[in-house]
Structure 1
Amino acid sequence: MTQWMDEEAGPVVRPYALIGGRTRSSGDTLDLIAMVTSTGAISSDGFVPGPEQERILAMVTTATSVADVASDLNLPLGVVRVLLGDLQDHKLISIGRASASERILKEVINGLRAL
Structure 2
Amino acid sequence: MSDPEGEYTDRALRPYVISKGRSRPTRNTIGIETLLIAVDPPHDLPVSATREERALLRMCRRLLSLVEAAAHLQLPVSLVKVLVSDLADSGHLSARPGVPQAVPPDGQLLQEVLDGLRRLR
> Is the shorter-chain TM-score for this pair beyond 0.5, marking a shared fold?
yes
Greater helix share, structure number: 1
Q: Once the 2 structures are TM-superposed, how far is the Cα of residue 96 of structure 1 from its aligned partner?
A: 1.2
SS of aligned partner of 1:29: coil
> CA offsets, 1:64-87, max 9 Å, x none?
001001111111111101111110
- Residue 71 of structure 1 aligns with an amino acid whose one-letter code is A
Larger Rg: 2
State the Cα distance separating 1:35 from its structure 2 match.
0.3
Question: 2:26 matched to 1:62?
Answer: no
Shift of 1:43: 5.4
Unaligned runs of 5+ in 2: 103-121
* Normalised TM-score (structure 2): 0.68
Which residue identity does 1:103 align to in structure 2?
A: Q
Total equivalences in the alignment: 96
In the superposition, the TM-score normalised over structure 1's length comes to 0.71
What do the CA deviations read for 1:22-47 (whole angstroms, capped 9, x no partner)?
11222443111110000033159x57
Runs of 4+ in 1 over 3 A off after TM superposition: none
Q: Specify every segment of 5 or more residues in structure 1 that has no aligned partner in the other structure, as ranges.
A: 1-5, 105-115
Corresponding position of 2:20: 20
Secondary structure, aligned partner of 1:95: strand
Q: Give the aligned CA root-mean-square deviation in angstroms.
A: 2.4
